Structure 1
């Protein structure tokens, strides 16, 4: 498993991914945001197959919380057919290694839907500590903010 540059082909593929309820909120229906350098998206491949993506920067932020620059926001996802197979920790570790090498942040921060038990288990077992919970200002859904210091 490794991180590679996001390409138009990868972005178009990701824009077709559809998750089963309740995870359909993670469906990305447009390729363009994945290609915008300001959003910090990269592709996650395994043996030449696109299996996921990671993001570094503002894309990992959910409206309604008081974000600052004390940590680098990161997010990501796996191809729907690859979820629930125990790949989350490894995918996250590969993403964090890339982020550490490229950005050298003092800490990483993730914002996870409060009802996403799978993601909360993965980030919790990867050294992230819960620092807050809030309601998104756009949807009212509850989110948990977790931080992992890097020093």
Structure 2
């Protein structure tokens, strides 16, 4: 796997990705604002094949949580968000995918912790994050959805 800045063509591909319910919650809007945001993301590729993406900082935060101050700044910590191509999900590939991303950002940045936010209904993802060493820190409700904020300490 390798990491590259997302191209406009790749961003347009991601916007068209469609997940099965209840994961359709993660489908993106097909608009200019979404496209422009995606251009700040990184692609995770296998050769030239786009497997998924990740984003860091405020791009990885739920906006309402950020507005309510639920993401306190902390030195050596960044927020991580990511997504995998829909047809690759649920096949046991997540551990390798996320581990690769974490290793890459650990090498690029001097971080002590990584924080992520996940919808509480996404039990499959929560189990994976716990297996990867993430621990729940807090939770909040936004637009009738409960979100868990989880942190992983890095060595």
TM-score by length of 2: 0.87
- 1:14 partnered with 2:14: yes
1:12 CA displacement: 0.9
Match of 1:116 in 2: 122
* Cα distance in 2, alignment partners of residues 93 and 3 from structure 1: 13
- 1:130 partnered with 2:136: yes
Aligned to 1:100, the other structure's residue is in SS state: helix
Match of 2:2 in 1: 2
Q: Which has the higher helix share?
A: 2
Structure 2 unmatched runs, 5+: none
Aligned to 2:16, the other structure's residue is in SS state: coil
1:118 CA displacement: 1.4
Aligned to 1:85, the other structure's residue is in SS state: coil
Match of 1:73 in 2: 79
* Cα distance in 2, alignment partners of residues 104 and 87 from structure 1: 26
Match of 2:48 in 1: 48
In structure 2, which of residues 125, 128, 149 is the aligned counterpart of residue 145 of structure 1? 149
Match of 1:98 in 2: 104
Q: In angstroms, what is the RMSD of aligned CA positions? A: 1.3
* Cα distance in 2, alignment partners of residues 76 and 60 from structure 1: 8
Aligned to 2:21, the other structure's residue is in SS state: coil
Structure 1 unmatched runs, 5+: none
* Cα distance in 2, alignment partners of residues 118 and 52 from structure 1: 17
* Cα distance in 2, alignment partners of residues 28 and 97 from structure 1: 26
* Cα distance in 2, alignment partners of residues 116 and 18 from structure 1: 16
Aligned to 1:142, the other structure's residue is in SS state: strand
* Cα distance in 2, alignment partners of residues 127 and 56 from structure 1: 19
